[in-house]
A = this chain, B = another copy of it.
Amino acid sequence: MSNETLLDRLRSELGADAVVTDVDVMATYSRDQMPLAPAGTPLAVVLPEDVDGVRATVRACAAARVPVVPRGAGSGLSGGANAVDGCVVLVTTKLDEIVEIDPDNRLAVVQPGVVNQDLRDAVAKHGLFYPPDPSSYDWCTIGGNLATNAGGLCCVKYGVTSDFVLGLEVVLADGSLLRTGRRTVKGVAGYDLTKLFVGSEGTLGVITEATLALRPLPQAPATLVAAFPSAPAAGVAVSRIVREGLVPSLMEIMDTATVDAVSNYLRTDLGTERGTLLLCQSDTGGERASAELSAVERICSEAGAEMTYHTDDLAEGDLLMRARRVTLLALESMGSCMTDDVCVPRTRIADLITGCERIAEEVGLTVAVVGHAGDGNMHPTVVYDASSEGEFERAKRAFDAILELGLSLGGTVTGEHGVGKFKQEWLAREIGPVGLDVHRRIKRALDPQNLFNPGSMFSL
């Protein structure tokens, strides 16, 4: 089938408006938020409005042997949704219906184009809560969250996206429709195909519906901040908080470089000059939250915190959290940023931070570490001058050295952003030849033509 024939078929099956070939419009659908990943030029961008449109698109592309790159809102940070040359970008944002909210079974059935925040708002009206909260929650879609197994600040207490997926509807490479999982909270009938598709980054199929577990709406958060003289002291506190079984609803760490950047940006004193900040929240409400944060406070003090403070006042808590929220803005005000995503065992967080200090010194650039201390998922960010090729090279060297460091600490090369079109070689290093071979076997079994997102995550 020629490209023109394919486009004609798509237009006739989905309607002309659903098939975009305008170069400028296509460009806005060809990249996600990771500037370092390669992106190609698509043949077309297709925006089906329902599952039949998705199936028609997949069948037409399979017949024409044109690759399909599934895409949500494009908020990804791995190039996973980036176009490859000559592909059809299949955008799921128009499948944006919340099909059902079942409060008594605490679940929702949604289409992939539903924006994370819209789901959160809709279920909140029933006193329910959808925890996964990637930082792009106000514009990313559930489909992208599922494809990347998105995390967020909630993970320390609530887990990641896959922990909330009961079942999926997926369009496979031959256009057939697979239903995985179920509406019950337990079930062991067959392989766990649901979890195989979650996090598969659009390489195995196109998710067209998901059944998601919900939780009761938590209480408004109480917030604690603790300032430590050093990363190791903060690391000791984190280990002990985990060890004692305290489960804050948020536990973020900011290293000295981050604290400096944010202090300058906000022109304010964050309670420490050359120290490390730990921010914790409890969403259990009232006396219980107060007791939880008091226990955290005690541990922080015993671990050497110079300053601790906690409040159940929402506005004040928000002010304390502001330091964390503006981190990327503060760093971007200093130059271009390469944000890494490594996850290490929680006892190695301090080693990662001190390792990043060493790397920063070696390359002569700022490396600011901010991260989800509760689960060891750290986002060291290298700041560099994009107009200097030398700085870019050094930044890239630091970025890679951080991944190397993460692996050497028993960690993973991606805690929540994914592999996409950017970390394929790192995935291969982390999982080894047998692991890679198993990935390829599964990919070939489900997508023998290599239709979906070819070259992403790994090459066949």
Within the assembled complex, what's the spacing in Å between the Cα atoms of A377 and B187?
A: 8
Per-residue CB proximity of A141-162 to B under 8 Å, as 1/0?
A: 0000000110100010000101
Known: A245-B215, A446-B441. A196 touches B187 (CB 8 A): no
Within the assembled complex, what's the spacing in Å between the Cα atoms of A151 and B185?
A: 11
Per-residue CB proximity of A328-351 to B under 8 Å, as 1/0?
A: 000000000000000111110000
Q: Which residues of B contact A191 (CB under 8 A)?
A: 196, 199-200, 204, 439, 442
Within the assembled complex, what's the spacing in Å between the Cα atoms of A192 and B431?
A: 12
> Is A243 close to B, CB under 8 A?
yes
Contact assessment for A187 and B439 in the assembled complex, using a CB-CB cutoff below 8 Å: no
Q: Which residue of B lies closest to A184 (CB)?
A: B343
> Is A396 close to B, CB under 8 A?
no
Contact assessment for A196 and B199 in the assembled complex, using a CB-CB cutoff below 8 Å: no
Q: Which residues of B contact A160 (CB under 8 A)?
A: 186, 188
Within the assembled complex, what's the spacing in Å between the Cα atoms of A187 and B414?
A: 6
> Is A294 close to B, CB under 8 A?
no
Contact assessment for B105 and A189 in the assembled complex, using a CB-CB cutoff below 8 Å: no
Q: Which residues of B contact A426 (CB under 8 A)?
A: 189
Contact assessment for B106 and A242 in the assembled complex, using a CB-CB cutoff below 8 Å: yes
Contact assessment for B186 and A377 in the assembled complex, using a CB-CB cutoff below 8 Å: yes
Contact assessment for A346 and B185 in the assembled complex, using a CB-CB cutoff below 8 Å: yes
Q: Which residue of B lies closest to A431 (CB)?
A: B190
Q: Which residue of B lies closest to A163 (CB)?
A: B163
Minimum Cβ distance to chain B for residue A79 (Å): 14
Not counting A184-B343, A186-B377, A189-B423, a sample of 18 additional A-B residue pairs whose C-beta atoms are within 8 angstroms of each other reads A102-B347, A160-B186, A172-B434, A182-B343, A182-B410, A182-B411, A184-B344, A184-B376, A186-B376, A187-B412, A187-B415, A188-B417, A190-B430, A191-B200, A191-B439, A192-B195, A193-B438, A195-B196
> Chain A interface (Cβ within 8 Å of chain B)?
102-106, 148-149, 151, 155, 160, 162-163, 172, 176-180, 182-193, 195-196, 198-200, 204, 215-217, 239, 242-245, 288, 343-347, 372, 375-377, 410-419, 423, 426-427, 430-432, 434-435, 437-439, 441-442, 444-446, 457-458
